[in-house]
A and B are shown apart, each in its own frame.
Chain A
Amino acid sequence: MVLELQNITMQFGGVVAIDNLSFGVEAGQIYGLIGPNGAGKTTLFNIVTGNYIQTKGKVKFNHEELSGLKPNMIVQRGIARTFQNIRLFKSMSVLDNVLIGFHNQANYTYFESILRLPRYFLYEKKLKNDAMEILERFGIAKYANTNASSLSYGNQRKVEIARALATNPKLLLLDEPAAGMNPNETEDLSQIIKNIKDEYGLTILLIEHDMKFVNNMCDKVLVLDYGEEIFEGKPSEAIVDEKVVAAYLGDFKHA
C-alpha cells in the first residue's frame, strides 16, 4: 500500500464530514473517489495533504505515518495535489507557476542567488527546460509567458496539474481534473494523465464527477456518501450498484 487511511474521522464543529473511514491505495493504481456533493472527498484530500488535521485516525504513506507533518513537508515526501477551486498564482506567468513547483529541486541558497553564483544559473536553466517540457505535454507551452489568470478556465486546470507534477510526486491527488473540459478535451487529458503516470511511475488518487472519465481511468473506486463508504470496487460495478445510483448518479441520462 502506498497510501493507507485508517479509521479517519473528521468533524467540523458538530458536523461529521468523514465518519470512521478506512481504505488503501496500491502502488501504480489510479484510484477514484466519488460521491455526492459534500460527501467529504475534498476533505479527505485536505487530511492527506496536512491542510486539515483529522479528528481521529491515521494516514500512512509508504508505511510511515504522516500525522503532525506540515503540508510542505508532506509535499516533500512525495504527495502533490491540485485544488478543486483552481488556485494558481494569479500575478505570475504560467511558466513561473510551474517553476514554483520545482522550488525544492532548485538546489541553490539565498546567497547564491543574491551573488548570482554558478549554481544559480545551472539550476535555473535546467528547471526552465523541465518546466517547458511539462507545459508542452499539456499543450499549453504557448502560454508560458502569459499571466496565469488570463488563461481560460480549462487551461488553468491544466496549469494546476502541471504545477503539481513539477513537485516530483510519487502520489498525485487530483481534485476534479476534468471539470471545465468538453468530452474531447477530457479524452486528451485522460491520455496525458495516463502517460505521465507511466513515465513518472505515479500512483493517482482522483476525485471526479465525470463518470465516463472515471470509468475509463480508474482501476478502483470508493463511493462516499455523508462521509461514509457505500461502495468500493470496480467502476463498472459502481455504476450499476443500487445504492450508488440512488445516492449519487440518479436516473437521469445526461452525462
Chain B
Amino acid sequence: MLKVKNLEVYYGVIAAVRGIDFEVKEGEIISLIGANGAGKTSTLGALLNSIKRKGEIVFGGYDTKNHKTHTLVQKGLALVPEGRRVFINLSVEENLRMGAFNNDENYEHLKDEMYKLFPRIEEKKAQMAGTLSGGEQQMLAIARALMSEPKLLMLDEPSLGLAPKIVGEVFETITRLRDEGITILLVEQNAYAALNISDRAYVLENGQIAMSGDAKELIGDDTIRQKYLGG
C-alpha cells in the first residue's frame, strides 16, 4: 500500500529525517515511535507532500512525487494532525463536512457514525470548534479525518489530551477500523498502547530508523522498554 525509500526531510540545513525506508502493507497497523524531535511528524508531513522531501514514496502503486497534498487525500490518504488543527471558526458539524469534502454522498451516514463514536461531540455539534475543550477538539480531528473514508489513515498522537477512558476507546476504534479494511499508520507517545494494537513498528531516532520489527517482540525488547515504555 505504501512504500518509502530513502526519505529525507530538511528544514534549511537541518536534517529532520535522514534517509529512512519503510513499508505499510494493506490491512496493517504500523506504529512509528520515537522521542521528541525524532522526526515522526516530519515523516507524516512528507508522506502527504505538505513539506519538501527527497526520496521515493509509492502509495497504492503510484509514485507520489508530483502529487499535491489534496490529490493524495483524494486518492485515499488522511491525516489526524498533531495539535488538532480543527477549523476554529467553523462549527463541529461544518468541520465534519469539510472532512467529507470529496465524499459528499456518504456525509450523512458517516456523520451519524462519528456521533456514535464520540457522543461528546454530538452534544456540541453547533458549537464553534475553537471553543471546544482540548479533548473534544481531538475527537473532532479524528472524526474529521475519518469523514473522507481513507484507505490509509495516519494519526499523529491521537491520544493527546484525551481522557484515559476515551484513549481506550480510540485504540479500540483503530483496531476496528483496521478490521473494516483501513490501513493505519500510527505515531504515538503512548508507545505501549500503540505497540499493543500494532502489527509492526519502526523506531525513529534522530531522523533514522534505529529498530523495526514485530510489535509484540518490540514490547519485549529491553532497550525499547527502557527508552520508550518507561522501564
User: Do the two chains touch directly in the complex (Cβ atoms below 8 Å apart)?
Assistant: yes
Report which A residues bind B (CB closer than 8 A). Answer: 12, 35-39, 41-43, 84-86, 150-155, 175-176, 179-187, 209, 211-212, 247-252, 254-255
Contact: B189 with A250, CB < 8 Å? no
Q: Tell me if A35 and B165 are in contact (CB < 8 A).
A: no
Task: Tell me whether A151 and B37 are in contact in the complex, defined as CB-CB below 8 angstroms, given that A42-B134, A182-B228 are known contacts.
Answer: yes
By a CB distance below 8 angstroms, the chain A residues around B138 are: 37
Contact yes or no, A37 B162, CB < 8 A:
yes
Q: A248 and B163: CB pair below 8 A?
A: yes
B120 surroundings in chain A (CB, below 8 A) = 37-38
A254-B228 contact given A180-B157, A182-B35, CB 8 Å threshold: no
For B230, what are the chain A residues with a Cβ–Cβ distance below 8 Å? 182-184, 186-187, 212
B134 with A37: CB separation less than 8 A:
yes
C-alpha spacing A254/B158, complex, angstroms: 14
B140 to chain A, nearest CB (A): 11
Question: Is the CB of B166 closer than 8 A to any CB of chain A?
Answer: yes
What are the residues of chain A within 8 A of B90 when measuring CB–CB?
none
- List residues of chain B with CB within 8 A of the CB of A250: 164-166, 168-169
**CB within 8 Å for A248 and B164 given contacts A153-B157, A180-B157, A255-B190:** yes
Which 9 pairs show the lowest CB-CB distances between chains A and B? Answer: A252-B168, A37-B135, A183-B230, A154-B36, A250-B165, A152-B37, A254-B193, A38-B133, A84-B134
Instruction: Please name the residue on chain B nearest to A182 by beta carbon.
Output: B189
Tell me if B15 is interfacial: C-beta within 8 Å of chain A: no
User: B161's contact among A39, A209, A247, by CB below 8 Å, is which?
Assistant: A209
- Given the complex, which residues of B lie within 8 Å of A182, measured CB to CB? 33, 35-36, 189-191, 228, 230
Docked Cα-Cα span, A27 to B73, in Å, equals 52
Contacts of B33 in A (CB 8 A): 182
- Are A176 and B161 closer than 8 Å at their CB atoms? yes
Q: Is B22 an interface residue (CB 8 A)?
A: no
Chain A positions within 8 Å of B163 at CB level: 35-37, 209, 248-249
Using CB atoms, name the residue of chain B closest to A139.
B36
Cβ of A42: which chain B residues have Cβ within 8 Å of it? 133-134
**B227 contacts chain A at the CB level, 8 A cutoff:** yes
For A154, the chain B residues whose CB sits under 8 A away are 35-37, 189
Query: Does B115 belong to the interface (CB within 8 Å)?
Result: no
> How far, in whole Å, are A211 and B165 apart by their CA atoms in the complex?
11
Q: Is the CB of A85 within 8 A of B190?
A: no
Given contacts A38-B135, A42-B134, A184-B228, are A255 and B167 in contact (CB under 8 A)? yes
B74 close to A (CB within 8 Å): no
8 Å CB interface, B167-209 against A:
167-169, 171-172, 189-193, 196
1/0 contact string of B68-79 vs chain A (CB within 8 Å): 000000000000
Within 8 A of A (CB), among B113-143: 120, 124, 131-139
Least Cβ distance of B45 to chain A in Å? Answer: 12
Q: Tell me which of B124, B134, B137, B226 has the highest count of chain A C-beta atoms within 10 A of its own C-beta.
A: B134
Q: Which residues from A are CB-within-8-Å of B211?
A: none
Complex contact B83–A85 (CB within 8 A) = yes
Q: Is the CB of B162 within 8 A of A150?
A: no
Q: Are B164 and A249 in contact (CB under 8 A)?
A: yes
Judge whether A180 and B84 touch: CB under 8 Å.
no
Contacts of A248 in B (CB 8 A): 163-165
Task: Specify the chain B residue showing the minimal Cβ separation from A43.
Answer: B133
Complex alpha-carbon distance, A42 and B83, angstroms: 16
Contacts of B167 in A (CB 8 A): 209, 252, 254-255
Q: Say whether B82 contacts A184, CB under 8 Å.
A: no
Asked if B101 CB lies within 8 Å of chain A CBs, one says: no
Q: Which of A38, A41, A152 is the one whose CB lies under 8 Å from B36?
A: A152
Q: For the complex, is B229 an interface residue (Cβ under 8 Å from A)?
A: yes
Partner of A185, one of B36, B166, B169: B36
CA distance A88 to B150 in the complex (A): 32
Query: CA A151 – CA B82 in complex, angstroms?
Result: 13
Listed by A's residue number, 15 A-B pairs whose Cβ atoms lie within 8 Å are: A36-B166, A37-B133, A37-B136, A38-B136, A155-B37, A176-B161, A182-B33, A182-B35, A182-B191, A182-B228, A183-B192, A209-B162, A252-B168, A252-B169, A254-B168
Task: Give, as a whole number of angstroms, the nearest-CB distance from A18 to chain B.
Answer: 12
**Which chain A residue shows the least CB distance to B16?**
A152
Q: In the complex, what's the smallest C-beta–C-beta distance from B214 to chain A, in angstroms?
A: 20
B36 and A153 form a contact (CB under 8 A)? yes
